[in-house]
Amino acid sequence: MSTSLKNKTALVTGASSGIGREIAQLLAERGVRVFGTARNPMLASPIPGVEMIGMDVTNDESVAAAVWSIVRQAGPIHFVVNNAGYGLSGAVEETSLAEARQQFETNFFGILRVTGAVLPGMRQAGFGRFANISSVVGLFPSPFMGMYAASKHALEGYTESLDHEVRSFGVRALLIEPAFTKSNISHSGQDAGLRLDAYAGPRERSSQSVKKGIANGDDPRLVAEAVFTALTAKSPRLRYPVGKGVTLSRLRRFLPASLFDRAIRKELLLD
């Protein structure tokens, strides 16, 4: 049994490309009125059925103005897909505090801003769904992307806590957990400014392993389908691992810690 999509409105952040674009397009195809966000919507390629608006998730005023604009045009927002984010590469020792803060401003605090702007309306309406795009690295370590992994670990704890707080109001907060997915994250990501020779070899091997994983990753349509299921299921689960992420999540749950540790190091060519 699924939630009716009649007269439903969705907000999808980071919808100009990659996974966000795929999610926005699928929801629009299935009858949802979709507003997608981008920092500069004028530069985004049009998506059939999707209304693009400007939003910078790191800016309080920008988020508030975008949400107000949607509500003014379409009424209450029923679905929010918090997708905006980027990857920051580099050893933890190479990553400055400023770079780490910026990673969290987008990947974590950006979600808090959007959620905080929409949640009061959902509570008053007695219905709403947040689908937060996490990652299997919200459950795993991610050497040489430690700040990215930390932001996703934070998102996991935040979303699970929020879900318990708002469930009695008819609102749910849910996690979508892709593994490697064909996307532009390796091109749109950033590198830490400092490069220490001590980490050069393992950093490069790990980077090549990640790039290979993305190139051979799951189709972003699988992520969009998982989001659709989470938003429309009558009794949604908290977590939706996607594609290869299903197997990886099971490995973390059932594999002995020592074997899991060795598997991570082998996969990323760290030894």
Asked if residue 49 lies in contact with residue 29, where contact means CB atoms within 8 angstroms, the answer is yes
Cα(214)–Cα(121) distance, integer angstroms: 37
Q: Cβ distance 178 to 74 under 8 Å? A: no
What's the distance, Cα to Cα, between the start and end of the chain in Å?
49
256 backbone dihedrals φ, ψ, rounded to 5°: -55, 145
| Cα angle 12-48-21, degrees, rounded to a multiple of 5 | 35
Q: How far is CA 89 from CA 55, 102, 164, 206, 210, in A?
A: 25, 13, 33, 10, 11
Q: β-strand 79-82 against 88-89: which pairing, if any?
A: unpaired
User: Which amino acids are annotated catalytic?
Assistant: 16, 134, 148, 152
For 83-217, where are the alpha helices, taking DSSP H only?
Answer: 97-104, 110-125, 146-166, 185-188, 200-215
Q: Give CA–CA dist 177/239, Å, rounded.
A: 7
